Amino acid sequence: MNRLTITGGCVLLPNDGEQVVDVSLEDGCIAAIGRNGRGAQLDACGLLVLPGIVDIHGDAFERQLQPRPGVGFSAEIALQDTEAQLLANGITTAFHGVTLSWEPGLRSLNAWRALLDALEARTWTCDMRVHLRWEAYNLEALDTALADIAAGRVHLLAFNDHTPPILKKINDPVVGAKYSDRAGMKLDEFRALAAEIGAREPAVPAALDRIGAAAREAGLPMASHDDETIATRRAFRARGARICEFPMAEEVGHEAREAGDWVAMGCPNVVRGGSHLGWASAARMVEAGICRILTSDYFYPAMLRAAMALAGRETLNLENSWRLVSSNPARAAGLGDRGSIEEGRRADLVLVDPASPKVVATIVHGRIGYLTAEGAARLSLATLG
């Protein structure tokens, strides 16, 4: 279906808010707004027509790879189910936050290779990309990461440094078991491995410099993850990371925003009313103008609900809240062809019933990727003109 006209919907237009207007799609792009189109028609009367959601950090796919500790499934099966979830939640561009760690199992080098190979093995409806979450102490995999960046297999680089927190918590038998189960190891073995890895600390800065230089050369957007202090944020900014992911304190996010960085927080934080770790409040930081990007983090359904919930607050409207999950993440990721409903842009759209809210249809690159029974009843295949 190369041509599709969405009729009668309340369309979110940049700078104009919601307007009842038709949108015509041809050959994967938005061909016209407010003019007669050709091809099939999708009646959007009573629905919101919104730009497709752009998720620059989501790792919920890990639950499809390893639904229980020590129980793994192939990357192909995991990605098939993940794509279905993404489309059902209006996410048209997804950066999978793939952690490349020194840990065996789910976040290992072998898992990294398998996931990238599975992504490249077929064509997907959702535009699924790779967000490399580089664990700072993973020196053995550095050459592989550098090669994959140079080969264009990575689309966003994030600096992760989870080793020091792991070393702090590893002696707690409950918390330690979570780490060792994920790695498929006995707890004592994992503690010994973590201690060995921790001894690499002197070599970490040079490795961070190398991978940062490779990302800059490749023109990749870069992020730092879980910045605890302003000094940490500044150090990663100096390496080229202009996205501040999940700052642990509001003052860190404020400093990043003042420096012109993109501050990204998780939608689950908004929907649940706060961080599950007791860190900074995403909703508060949005309303303060600090946070300009929201991500799925670990739960895809939260993206639509977070944006709609924020739109209901006194300080935001739908246009401003939806930017957090569409045009702003697209800009931060260097994707200038999407994120807003404008002629010539990529035809990535989501039709939403605002009363629920729920996704009725998801359109990716001009083609219907997800359609509920209600949406199917609204679709007419009669050709116009």
| pLDDT value, residue 274 | 75
| pLDDT value, residue 236 | 97
| pLDDT value, residue 1 | 52
Concatenated DSSP letters of 319-375: HHHHHTTTHHHHHHTT-TT-SS--TTSB--EEEEETTTTEEEEEEETTEEEEE-HHH
Domains along the sequence of the chain with CATH: 3-50+340-380 (2.30.40.10), 52-161+201-332 (3.20.20.140)
| pLDDT value, residue 383 | 45
Which parts of the chain sit beneath pLDDT 70?
Answer: 1, 37, 277, 279, 382-385
Structure tokens at 236: 């990663």
Q: Give the predicted TM-score (pTM) of the model.
A: 0.95
| pLDDT value, residue 15 | 84
Q: How far apart are CA 234 and CA 244, in angstroms?
A: 10
Q: How far apart are CA 43 and CA 361, in angstroms?
A: 11
| pLDDT value, residue 313 | 84
Distance of CA 48 to the CA centre of its chain: 22
| pLDDT value, residue 255 | 98
Structure tokens at 40: 């099939």
| pLDDT value, residue 113 | 98
